Structure 1
């Protein structure tokens, strides 16, 4: 009996001892200065598995207090720019342990003196994509996701942070294989808050498989984050100023624990986008010309708020809720100065048309995601997401015409758009070599655009019924897909099929004109890859894609900024269909890495702008103006080559080059006029990056885009250069950025249109933009290295 009582007491004591919490507290200070270190990370971990038990960050006074019921652990204290400290000896007989002052020593080793070997970034081929594994290159140390992207072949990140793939900005951005609030929105530049050390790999998909929606984009970039994402409180703050006016303040915060990850971003600022423009409209039948020389400035105040949370139900299931609210307040001023010339080139009437626009644009976005990773295989998972967004634009534009012609005009726009997307994806490896994927998506787009034009007659505003209407646009797309893949060294193959049903209805209320399209399409895909050696891999792919006419080219009403050169939409447009073929290879020749791709695209019902003329009456005088309208005109065949090369043998210098060339054949007819022609188009980019002493980085990018011909229009080539200088201070916790876009103010958009009855010239130039920014990272966050400018 005594033995039983003794064992019972030991058992109860063991339960009590196990359930008793131990409190640890302390103060983290700088070893040299003795000053407290705020937001230092304090982590308790299991000594055998090294897995975290609990963690937190120090407060503003450098102090911390934490509790644990674990009986075996060690403590790790760290902060960016300091050498990590570990404590593994504790007096666990006490309920409360005061560790006193814990000193951290600054890491005085300069980053530019570190030599990293064996962990360089590498590119490899998968069945339907290229994978860029992010290593510990010196060029990526402390960099943002945008700078990492800019180092990837085929990918370009301009000075505003806009991402392009093979020269096109129609790129779908994903994080961990799914849409994210961090990759959405125009000009939020939120990817600058993801740093290189958080990224495991980036997947480049130039020819997407049937898994992805068939909408015609230039490709997909998927950023895969490391599983050991930073614990504790992390963040960064950035301040930018520039010429022309570009002033912004941004704050990014992230708080992560084992069960919860909270993230938020706040951005406020003001920016201006000036431009100069010129047009010449010549009537070849009577010899009369009208020249317009003008300027336009758009000023914008913006406020952007992002808030979200990841709820880790367990190690295999996570729910994410996020929301984004943005408000833009715009005012635009435009001046167009017209001069009319007769057939002998003598100047006649002169008049000025001034535009004054004010607009308010609130935007909402919200998102729910659920992901489940099954325990039988790391790639066996289920993902459900539901996203919604709302965009409203309420604007008023006043046009005042003075001089030899006088008029007052007012345009009112009440625009509203709602989008909803529901998506389910399931991936199941059947064995080590076979994998199946299946899923479905339903996307809804509901738009109403109320557009009214008023003219002033004898002091009274009168609605112009010929230019006033309400345009409604409702589209629903249902997609279902399935793929099967086989992969075993050295080769693999993946086949897929996607079905999409599109239901589109447009309705002009005032004219009572309704257009309904309901069609179902099948989109097959096939991809294969073969690895000849460590130095040579080859990949080939085929996919069928669709490019549905978007809202703005369907809407027949536009603001008439230049009354003699206008653009109208076409609600009767049909979608384009493209068959895309591609062969891509990667070579590794010592310190030079090179990608070479050959591709072919065949497109039917291609959409092109057709320019015509019409006669209008201004103050009793008949004048000719050009009208640009999108039409389905024939077919297009494109044959192209792309090359990417990178040389990085010298530690302080990296040289890279991208070049592309395409030859195209066009066959088309519109209203009895044949538009058959051939042409070519190319471009190139050369980037030189230098790492100078004192943690200074310099980058220069030279760009060339060739001229090319479209259906009626000929576009002139472009030459321009961008530069940037970056300086790290405070052991990398802060960064100074200076960026200059279009250094020599040489980037111009110029085009000519020559037809039997008219000739048209157009040019536009934005000029040089200079931005200076300061960014500071705290916790384990690192300073952002791109300035948050708006892309355009």
Structure 2
């Protein structure tokens, strides 16, 4: 292989000379509780210009209660320190005059004596934060998602969309990498959507959106990375919470979380139960051009699921600098889906009249993962080595059967499909951070991930003459896939001037894909029943970020470039047909190539005292775009589609995110994404050039009527979006929630209504030389939900052994 020679170039890059550091000062203080004299973890501080009181920097206290501002320009400042339940502290006339820095000593925060009847915002965390390569959204206070799942919550995050199958899209693309606490969830197996629909929304603290990830992170993900950060308890002693909710259509959820922490150990565990029931409906019109016929159908469906998730783990704090953690997750999921479709046939040569199709799908899923984490902080401040080993397995067994009855006297159709999936993921990761000065740091690491899956399908077809089922070997098969990726990366961050900073990085990945597919057809000669395939390639993935700080208010301009990849999934390369829908047969392509993506962004962040916004101009070039391609329609109007590298595409857009604090008790957040999409034509597949302007927007408003009553309203609109063989239809909806806190804010009761106007429907049109197709589907009707939550335990936040980065991913930036 060629990659050893290329690695020499990587090591040469790591040893390249670095730029000189800019001269700036720093500001430091120790924040403690005035009553107990214990350090306070997570207190927020804003550094302000002394004269204008404009925002300069934001920071939080670390595990030792230390507050640190780095890279502060010489001058005179004020500092404001806030913490939940404590009085704000404002200190003026702080002078930064020497590179050695200024130490404010110990600052003591006293209890807030204000009465509960006062109307005020009480230490609410920043809802949005702009980092050097990400946007961070605090969703811990989201009301419209209370009693829902992670999928429900992600649908309320700016720039994200969730479709009828729970698939998450970022800027209109569902080719996105989803991480949980900075790691790929091995427990999800091949279906991250099912895991998101079983994860309760109230377990999530924040969501990180990384549209242009640096070389430190996996190169996979066309539109970027979504990192879901789960809530952590940092209080000492025994703490926990219980919650329960119930809603329309017999939807229920309940959970308990426990945490015990002392100076040497942290033990944590949780259990969550979720019962889902989503009634839906849909309609479809297919017009077949080769015989001028039509098939229309209407559908009523129901999706039900019972999910049980368990988590258990412990952290051992060997000393102030070394931590070992072990944790495990278990998920037991049972999902059922039933549907009834009514077909009408017009002008069809072989089909006429009507038919009714009823189908059921039962799936049982067992998934688990084991994680071992190690972190070691060194003498140099900020220097750290982290390591992670994880192993996960997910097994799923399913039965899908249908029966189709025709009014014209044609023979009935029937089929039973038995499926089994067994997926395993092994992950080994090492990361090292080395600060080289006030503004510079070097990062390097290695990751190996192995994904193995074995899928089997056995199909029986109804014989109408004796009303018995017999094996159908033409679609009975086994599919074995192993996907291995070795990755090495290096990043260097520094400043050219006191305002101009940069980060450059390189990632080298060796990707190896091996596939084997076996037919169960006994007529195939021995030795010919197996077909092997594979792909082995090495690529460089560079990244570069250039950031300029405008003025003293924390405003930023950032230019970034990254190269990324989108690799095919198992179902996209499995050549055996999926016949879950007899009228639409789909198959994978073992020769499918990965997409190659080049991404360029220019961002500007503006911070005012009551109004902040982020604007991003972006461009994305994608080669070898993977899409399902309809290549045939037979005489019975059955469509056949196959995954192909159809074309190349160019996307250019403008994304805007803005938050306005209208009053102390009312804020509004708005997000808009406006983009131009162009799919190039491909004569080999008879695809014409497709281009058009698309946009989507959402708005979220929070109102705090009193210290214990609050309300949230959210609305969204998604305009039609083009695809290589058609376009999606528009979609819109409104969610509303009201919350009441009581028992000294340890307990709360929330009522929310999802899709208040009952308007959310997903639809699309497909246009090919053989067929014009249009469909619309409503996967969930208007839903009411009532939720109760109670928190118990100590109020001491003084533990000194908390890792600084719970998400497993770096954060740098200003608060919203």
Query: Is the TM value for this pair above 0.5?
Result: yes
Contact 1:210–1:498 (CA under 8 A) maintained in structure 2 = yes
Calculate the TM-score normalised by the size of structure 2: 0.75
Q: Does 1:408 align with 2:408?
A: no
Q: Report the equivalent of 1:497.
A: 506
Query: Residues 757-776 of structure 1 correspond to what in structure 2 (within 5 A)?
Result: 757-766=770-779, 767-776=781-790
- Give a deviation string over 1:741-778, Cα, whole Å, max 9, x none: 21112111122223333221211112222221111111
Calculate the TM-score normalised by the size of structure 1: 0.77
Query: Residues 566-645 of structure 1 correspond to what in structure 2 (within 5 A)?
Result: 566-615=585-634, 622-645=635-658
Contact 1:125–1:538 (CA under 8 A) maintained in structure 2 = no
Choose 237-246 or 346-355, whichever is displaced more. Answer: 346-355
Deviation at 1:561, TM superposition (A): 3.7
Q: Does 1:366 align with 2:385?
A: no
Q: Report the equivalent of 1:341.
A: 346
- Give a deviation string over 1:386-439, Cα, whole Å, max 9, x none: 111111111112212223341331101011111111101111112223311111
Where in structure 2 are there 5+ consecutive unaligned residues?
Answer: 1-31, 41-82, 88-110, 520-528, 797-816
Inter-partner Cα distance in structure 1 for 2:753 and 2:139 = 29
Q: Does 1:659 align with 2:678?
A: no
Question: CA distance change for structure 1 residues 165 and 566 in 2, over 3 Å: closer, same or farther?
Answer: same
SS of the counterpart of 1:671? helix
Inter-partner Cα distance in structure 2 for 1:626 and 1:523 = 39
Q: Does 1:50 align with 2:38?
A: yes
Q: Does 1:777 align with 2:791?
A: yes
Q: Structure 2 residue aligned with 1:478, among 486, 492, 496?
A: 486
How many pairs align?
A: 675
Contact 1:527–1:541 (CA under 8 A) maintained in structure 2 = yes
Inter-partner Cα distance in structure 2 for 1:444 and 1:414 = 20
Query: Residues 245-260 of structure 1 correspond to what in structure 2 (within 5 A)?
Result: 245-260=250-265
Inter-partner Cα distance in structure 1 for 2:768 and 2:683 = 14
Q: Report the equivalent of 2:813.
A: none
RMSD of aligned alpha carbons:
3.9
Deviation at 1:287, TM superposition (A): 1.9
Query: Residues 510-521 of structure 1 correspond to what in structure 2 (within 5 A)?
Result: 510=519, 511-521=529-539
Q: Report the equivalent of 1:74.
A: none
Inter-partner Cα distance in structure 1 for 2:261 and 2:323 = 13
Deviation at 1:297, TM superposition (A): 1.2
Inter-partner Cα distance in structure 1 for 2:196 and 2:424 = 16
Inter-partner Cα distance in structure 2 for 1:413 and 1:179 = 25
SS of the counterpart of 1:560? coil
Q: Report the equivalent of 2:548.
A: 530
SS of the counterpart of 2:547? strand
Question: CA distance change for structure 1 residues 244 and 203 in 2, over 3 Å: closer, same or farther?
Answer: closer
Contact 2:186–2:425 (CA under 8 A) maintained in structure 1 = no
Question: CA distance change for structure 1 residues 275 and 321 in 2, over 3 Å: closer, same or farther?
Answer: same
Question: CA distance change for structure 1 residues 139 and 722 in 2, over 3 Å: closer, same or farther?
Answer: closer
Choose 586-595 or 524-533, whichever is displaced more. Answer: 586-595
Inter-partner Cα distance in structure 1 for 2:444 and 2:237 = 37
Query: Residues 230-241 of structure 1 correspond to what in structure 2 (within 5 A)?
Result: 230-241=235-246
SS of the counterpart of 1:285? coil
Inter-partner Cα distance in structure 2 for 1:242 and 1:736 = 13
Contact 1:537–1:586 (CA under 8 A) maintained in structure 2 = yes
Inter-partner Cα distance in structure 1 for 2:638 and 2:118 = 61
SS of the counterpart of 2:592? coil
Inter-partner Cα distance in structure 2 for 1:751 and 1:242 = 30
- Give a deviation string over 1:40-82, Cα, whole Å, max 9, x none: xxxx999997369xxxxxxxxxxxxxxxxxxxxxxxxxxx999
Contact 1:81–1:733 (CA under 8 A) maintained in structure 2 = no
Contact 1:121–1:136 (CA under 8 A) maintained in structure 2 = no
Inter-partner Cα distance in structure 1 for 2:397 and 2:117 = 51
Deviation at 1:702, TM superposition (A): 1.3
SS of the counterpart of 2:202? helix
Choose 471-480 or 738-747, whichever is displaced more. Answer: 738-747
Q: Report the equivalent of 1:468.
A: 476
Question: CA distance change for structure 1 residues 81 and 759 in 2, over 3 Å: closer, same or farther?
Answer: closer
Inter-partner Cα distance in structure 2 for 1:701 and 1:211 = 34
Inter-partner Cα distance in structure 2 for 1:774 and 1:190 = 14
Question: CA distance change for structure 1 residues 182 and 504 in 2, over 3 Å: closer, same or farther?
Answer: closer
- Give a deviation string over 1:271-320, Cα, whole Å, max 9, x none: 11222122222222222222121222122122111111111111111111
Contact 2:505–2:544 (CA under 8 A) maintained in structure 1 = yes
SS of the counterpart of 2:571? helix
Inter-partner Cα distance in structure 2 for 1:182 and 1:450 = 19
Q: Report the equivalent of 2:94.
A: none
Contact 1:610–1:711 (CA under 8 A) maintained in structure 2 = no
- Give a deviation string over 1:505-550, Cα, whole Å, max 9, x none: 1211114221110001110000110101134311111000000011
Q: Does 1:739 align with 2:752?
A: yes
Deviation at 1:230, TM superposition (A): 0.8
Question: CA distance change for structure 1 residues 124 and 332 in 2, over 3 Å: closer, same or farther?
Answer: closer
